[in-house]
Amino acid sequence: MSTCREQGAAVITAMLVVALAATAASFMMWQNHLWLRQVENLDHQAQARWIARAAVQWGAAILDEDSRDIDHENEKWAASLPPLSAEGGEVTGFIKDAQGLINLNNLVRNGKRNQSDVVILTRLMIALEISPDSINALADWMDADNEITSPGGAEDMQYLALEPPYRAANRILEDVGELYRVQGFKRDTILKLQPFVTALPADTTINVNTAPAEVLMALCSGLQLADAMVLIKRRNSQAFKDKADFQKQLPQGVQARDEDYNVSSRFFYASAISRNERVQVAFQALLERPDQGKTKTLWLKQIEE
Ligand SMILES: [Ca+2]
Ligand SMILES: [Ca+2]
């Protein structure tokens, strides 16, 4: 009897071992499959990245060929790249003039706030119904000193009192996203500002051939929205060929400071979206096209979609 029971137990143990082995095998197969999928995905991702980078280089080459005397949206660089087949996927892209926007870094030049740029940003903020007091906080964030500008300013003292504490940067912005760390810049303020501002690594002029109406209104004292729209309509059929041409077309009494604008640009954003099998990646790059020589990529980053 006992032998019988022992035999029965042995059979059950054997069955269990087989069952466990089968489970382990299928688990391993599943793991293998998962691993293969991951490897495949990584492979597709690497390929998609490589293609997106190539598209950015292609954008730089288009800028190299373009005339530097004038930059407007009827030029070849401003046309979107239609979806192109590439290595089992497709890639699209576009270039945007970074100088059609207000460069927040103009606010502080050589470590000191620059009043004429404060005036431009104040006009933009009023037009967008944002309190311009936070401009003082931004200038304090970027200026070299630790003196608080009233009203609305903030330096180390304010930021060190926060949890977690941090210090004022006391240098220009690396990215518009850095505004989240500056006193007075709440999410809704930043979202309102974002379509009209940028943070470039050098002082820049506003390109009146690419600036949206709100930026033109910020640039020119006394310019109303309706008049800004008229200027945009005109430039769409015939771009402003030089600064005098723009000045001539401003309504009476409206003025722009000569040093604040131009009709050409040095900085551009290039965006590329690349799809490959199950993977999609988006890249943005900041390109600098110097007066002479080839267009350079200042940074290139993958952006969350
Ligand atoms: Ca051009
Ligand atoms: Ca400061």
Q: What is the distance between the terminal CA atoms of the chain, rounded to a whole angstrom?
A: 70
Please state the pTM of the whole predicted model.
Answer: 0.84
How far does the centroid of ligand 2 lie from the alpha carbon of residue 142, in Å?
A: 5
Q: Is 276 exposed, middle or buried (0-12, 13-18, 19+ CB in 10 A)?
A: buried
Q: What are phi and psi of 84, to 5 degrees?
A: -115, 135
Joined tokens for residue 36 = 């293969």
Distance CA 3, CA 181 (A): 78
How far lies 267's CA from each of 93, 135, 284, in Å? 17, 24, 13
* Average pLDDT over every residue of 282-295: 94
Size (the chain), residues: 305
Q: Where in the chain is the domain with CATH 3.30.1300.30?
A: 2-100+266-303
How far does the centroid of ligand 2 lie from the alpha carbon of residue 163, in Å?
A: 20
∠ CA 303-131-201, rounded to 5°: 40
Buried b or exposed e, range 137-164, using 16+ CB within 10 angstroms: bbbbbbbeeeebbeebbbbeeebeeeee
Asked if pLDDT for residue 144 goes beyond 70, the answer is yes
Q: Is the sign of the CA dihedral 198, 202, 204, 209 positive or negative? A: negative
What is the per-residue pLDDT for 3? 66
305 pLDDT band (50/70/90 cuts)? low
Q: Where in the chain is the domain with CATH 1.10.40.60?
A: 103-262
Three-state DSSP class for residue 132:
coil
Fold entry, domain 103-262: Ribonucleotide Reductase Protein R1; domain 1 (1.10.40)
User: 2-100+266-303 domain in CATH 3.40.605.10?
Assistant: no
For the stretch 184-230, pLDDT in tens is: 999 999 999 999 999 999 999 999 999 999 999 999 999 999 999 99
How far does the centroid of ligand 1 lie from the alpha carbon of residue 169, in Å?
A: 35
Asked if pLDDT for residue 2 goes beyond 60, the answer is no
Nearest ligand to residue 76 Cα: 1
For the stretch 34-85, pLDDT in tens is: 777 777 777 777 887 788 888 899 899 999 999 999 999 999 999 988 888 8
For the stretch 207-216, pLDDT in tens is: 999 999 999 9
Asked if pLDDT for residue 246 goes beyond 90, the answer is yes
Q: Is the sign of the CA dihedral 168, 173, 177, 179 positive or negative? A: positive
How far does the centroid of ligand 1 lie from the alpha carbon of residue 99, in Å?
A: 13
Nearest ligand to residue 68 Cα: 1
